[in-house]
Amino acid sequence: MRILIVTATQMEVAPLVAAFHHRAERRANLTSHKHAAHDVDLLVTGVGMVPTAAWCAHALALEAYDLALNFGVCGSFDPELPPGAVVHVVADRIAELGAEDDEAFLTMAELNLPGDYEFFNEQPPANEALRELPVVRAISVNTVHGNARSIAEVTARFKPQVESMEGAAFMCACQIGGIPFAQVRAVSNVVEQRNRGAWQMAEAIGSLSRAALAILERA
């Protein structure tokens, strides 16, 4: 199977890549590997929805893949998803896409404007390891939440369980490309008033890598 792994930063998948057999560097942000009898390309897009969408579209246009996997970290709004938890995101939306109406926020639907702003993975890969993960709803943002008022507003508006800065863009590119995909994330922090000292990045990355290896080995 030919698999594309997408991540925002090398750091998020460093333990995973250490388990691969390195084959070749095709360009600065795309490397080819071998793992569990699969040909695996690793695409490091950089942080944010714009580079993620652009690089994913570029990669999917150049190569034919059997599966695309997005591995990364996220923040959690859900008290049942503490730091270190690994989740399968099946619904994602661009939270900031809309318009302000004085103190109110108008969604694209409320504005009657066309466009893709919600993404659903209705047919995820039939993978035993993937099925073991909690299924969650996410939002993708340009500015991660760290203010009590904005957290309360976005929670009331969309009821997300986790947030990232890339997930919706990855899902959009895969849906346009017509490729089976899954977005898998590990919680690095609770979404709260910004408290970088409480983040558990190392634990999240370790959990993510173990889950990613299990998914690849059962693909």
Tokens matching residue 124: 């995820």
Tokens matching residue 151: 């957290």
Q: From CA 193, how far away is CA 195, in angstroms rounded?
A: 6
Give the C-alpha distances (Å, rounded to integers) separating 193 from 124, 176, 187: 34, 36, 16
**pLDDT above 70 as % of the chain:** 100
Handedness of CA 41, 45, 49, 51 (dihedral sign): negative
Q: From CA 67, how far away is CA 54, in angstroms rounded?
A: 18
Largest interatomic CA distance in the chain: 56
Report which of residues 204 and 108 the model is more confident about.
Answer: 204
Q: Which residues pair with 70 in a beta bridge?
A: 6, 183
Among 190, 191, 187, smallest CA distance to 207 is for: 187
Query: What pLDDT is recorded for position 174?
Result: 97
Find out whether 118 and 74 touch, Cβ atoms under 8 Å. Answer: no
pLDDT level of residue 218 (50, 70, 90 thresholds): very high
Residue 156 burial (10 A CB sphere; 0-12, 13-18, 19+): exposed
Q: From CA 81, how far away is CA 67, in angstroms rounded?
A: 26
The angle formed by the CA atoms of residues 77, 81 and 107, to the nearest 5 degrees, is 30
Query: What pLDDT is recorded for position 86?
Result: 98
Q: From CA 50, how far away is CA 166, in angstroms rounded?
A: 8
Query: What pLDDT is recorded for position 48?
Result: 97
pLDDT level of residue 110 (50, 70, 90 thresholds): confident
Count how many domains the chain has.
1
Q: Domain span at residue 186? A: 2-217
Question: Per-residue pLDDT tens for 123-162?
Answer: 999 999 999 999 999 999 999 999 999 999 999 999 999 9
Q: From CA 81, how far away is CA 77, in angstroms rounded?
A: 8
- Statement: residue 100 has pLDDT above 90: no
What CATH number is attached to the domain comprising 113? 3.40.50.1580
Q: From CA 117, how far away is CA 203, in angstroms rounded?
A: 31
Question: Per-residue pLDDT tens for 78-97?
Answer: 999 999 999 999 999 999 88
Among 94, 95, 68, smallest CA distance to 7 is for: 68
Mean pLDDT value across the chain: 94
Residue 148 burial (10 A CB sphere; 0-12, 13-18, 19+): exposed
Q: Tell me the average pLDDT across 180-208.
A: 94
Question: Per-residue pLDDT tens for 13-27?
Answer: 999 999 998 777 777
- Its pTM stands at 0.94
